[in-house]
Amino acid sequence: MPKLRQRQRMWKAFNYPSKNIIELSQCAHEHVQSSFSTTHKDSGKMSPPPNKKPIKSCYADMLNDKDRNAKYFEGIRAAVGRVKERGERAVVLDIGTGTGLLSMMAATAGADFCYAVEVFKPMADAAVKIVEKNGFSEKIKIINKHSTEVTVGPDGDMECRANILITELFDTELIGEGALPSYEHAHQYLVQEGCEAVPHRATVYAQLVESKRMWSWNKLFPIHVQAEDGEKIIASLPEMENCPGAPAVYDIQLNQVPLSDFTALSDVVTMFSVDFSKPVSRASASHRVQLEPVKSGRAQVVLSWWDMDMDPAGSVKCSMAPYWVLASSEDIPWRDHWMQCVYFLSNEEPVFQGQSVGLTAFHDDYSVWYKLQKGRKENANTNIRIERPMCCCQAHLLWNRPRFGELNDQNRTAQYVRALNKVLERNSVCLSVSDGSLLPLLAHHLGAEKVFTLESSAVSFSLMKKICEANHLEDKIKIIEKHPELLLSSDLDNRKDLWRIRSPCGFCEEFDVRIMDQMIKYSLDFREAREAEPHPLWEYPCKSISEPVEVLTFDFRQTVPEHTIRKEGILNLQRAGKSHGAVLWMEYHLIPGLSVSTGLVQISDEKGYCQWTPHCKQAVYFFSSITEPKSEPLTNSPSAVAYTISFSPKSGDVAMDFKFIN
């Protein structure tokens, strides 16, 4: 079959309230586009292995979370006050101190001394400078160790055990950054019995829902193809039906998911709580709750989030609850380091209003998962084996959640069917170069004489073999396990036919953390940081302040050039708004007049608010400084951005640079 073309485009300055670059591979005629916008994604206290590269920091997103900071400060002041009321010295242990912010809060609140533990050396070094700059060197000691390596005693890292434990060891799943092991060790070796803890308690909530959209992120739906000789169906794998799926939580911004995308089958229920002021165990455990379904439907997904009580009375609360749970959704704080969780059940189960079901949350020391059980608690099996679910069908090892959604997108599939119908002839011989693609099956059903699919990994080879067998096509489609550059003519039977995460903090809760800003700026100037980062922009409200501009074009019908492809140009800033960065994406032009986009779906109004495809991440290039576009009376502000984009076919590297011009 004739090779489909690919083009690349680029567009806009974007106003980005900010999450991972897209590889230049797939199929068709492709554009890269760029945009300038405003947006706010992933933190992680579990520090990466030490290295000499500068930090691409997500600490800034936490520092810019004013709700989090205010609640922590209030909880810390109260904890120090309770210790002082007992006539004791207030000795603080701050695990995962980062910039030292929480320790400085404690010192300001009257703590006598703080031991601030930070394992990541570049951040620990920054914390030493920040603490010194704010005048707390005599009251705060930075310990550059993992908390489990900290010693107590006359010659130890700490002179005595602490009576106030402060931590920020939490991720979207609550325990995914190793909070349970850290707390277990701290209570055993580093803090006094009956210590104060900030936060004092965390509570995990869950809600059972039916959602075709979310379920499409976890299972492959049958694909209907209208061929000349009738309707064909591409079936899923039989073993996928009961496969637990990927073992990791899917963390997303549920506040960007409309109510029309799911049906609540239960009320919100409390699954379990952890009291951080008491000894904590990292041992695996389960927590069962009896649900009374509020609607009949197919139970497919568990939505989950948590809140934290900063004090024993629960009067100071920091909540991750989505908008439909809160009394008012107007003042929901934007945060990218903590979102909400989507958990997929192993298989969909029918539930009926009025018929009780059991929902069990399991966890080990790092992960949470859920299981639905029919019947009442007294009839349930209490000896449930706690075993973390793992994919058994191989599809979840190859396809991530957005890829599942993409494969289940009927409109996208229809575009490819239309394109294939246009170019296929009865003697067409097709070669698919794309691990785990279903295009070979589409091509066969639409009349290709012979179809080859090139699978470069053992996992994709095995999965495609299973899919072909499930659809009785093992003799119709030849699967080749090779990298493209190793392909021989004999393999073909001798036929030759993703801003807040980067924004300056300055002063945080009146503490000077500008040293952190300098680290971030340095990281932005580092070569690796001058590349685009992949972020799913559908989760982040953003606004374009320029129009789309095509920057690179690749024609798949032509021989790949050996020389570097380079393009320079100008993006005019046409709308009001701060310029945080540029967005790049691909458009695949299948046939004339028919294309598939991996980025912008549309600009919704004259203000430039954007709609992005939910199945792909876009490449986000953050500017090292934020700039207002030129408008009266800001006559000295930039009016455009000059860009340079180059692509090396030999290495596959994309280099880019953007500069504001007046």
Residue 528 bears catalytic tag: no
DSSP conformation class of 60: H
621 in Cβ contact with 610 (< 8 Å): no
140 in Cβ contact with 116 (< 8 Å): yes
Phi, psi values for residue 261, rounded to 5°: -85, -5
Distance CA 234, CA 371 (A): 29
Phi, psi values for residue 250, rounded to 5°: -105, 105
Indicate the residue type of 322: P
Q: For the chain, how far is it from start to end, CA to CA, in angstroms?
A: 49
DSSP secondary structure string, 72-130?
A: HHHHHHHHHHHHHHTT---EEEEES-TTTHHHHHHHHTT-SEEEEE---HHHHHHHHHH
Indicate the residue type of 460: S
Tokens of 531: 């590349």
Report the candidate in 136, 152, 155, 178 with the shortest Cα–Cα distance to residue 93: 152
CB neighbour class for 111 (10 Å; exposed up to 12, middle 13-18, buried from 19): buried
DSSP conformation class of 326: S
DSSP conformation class of 55: P
From residue 344, alpha-carbon distances to 115, 352, 362, 381, 630 in Å are 40, 19, 13, 22, 47
Residue 177 bears catalytic tag: yes
Candidate list 177, 196, 406, 533, residue with the active-site label? 177
67 in Cβ contact with 318 (< 8 Å): yes
Q: Which residues contact 70 (CB under 8 A, 6 or more apart)?
A: 509
Q: Which residues contact 31 (CB under 8 A, 6 or more apart)?
A: 7, 8, 9, 10, 550, 551, 552, 553, 585, 586, 587, 589
Distance CA 295, CA 283 (A): 35
Distance CA 46, CA 95 (A): 11
Q: Which residues contact 354 (CB under 8 A, 6 or more apart)?
A: 292, 293
Candidate list 30, 168, 196, 539, residue with the active-site label? 168
Q: How far, in whole angstroms, is CA 91 from its chain's centroid?
A: 37
Distance CA 164, CA 150 (A): 16
Q: Which residues contact 322 (CB under 8 A, 6 or more apart)?
A: 254, 255, 257, 303, 305, 340
State the residue for tokens 């009025």: 354
Q: Which residues contact 187 (CB under 8 A, 6 or more apart)?
A: 195, 278, 279, 280
What residues act catalytically?
Answer: 168, 177
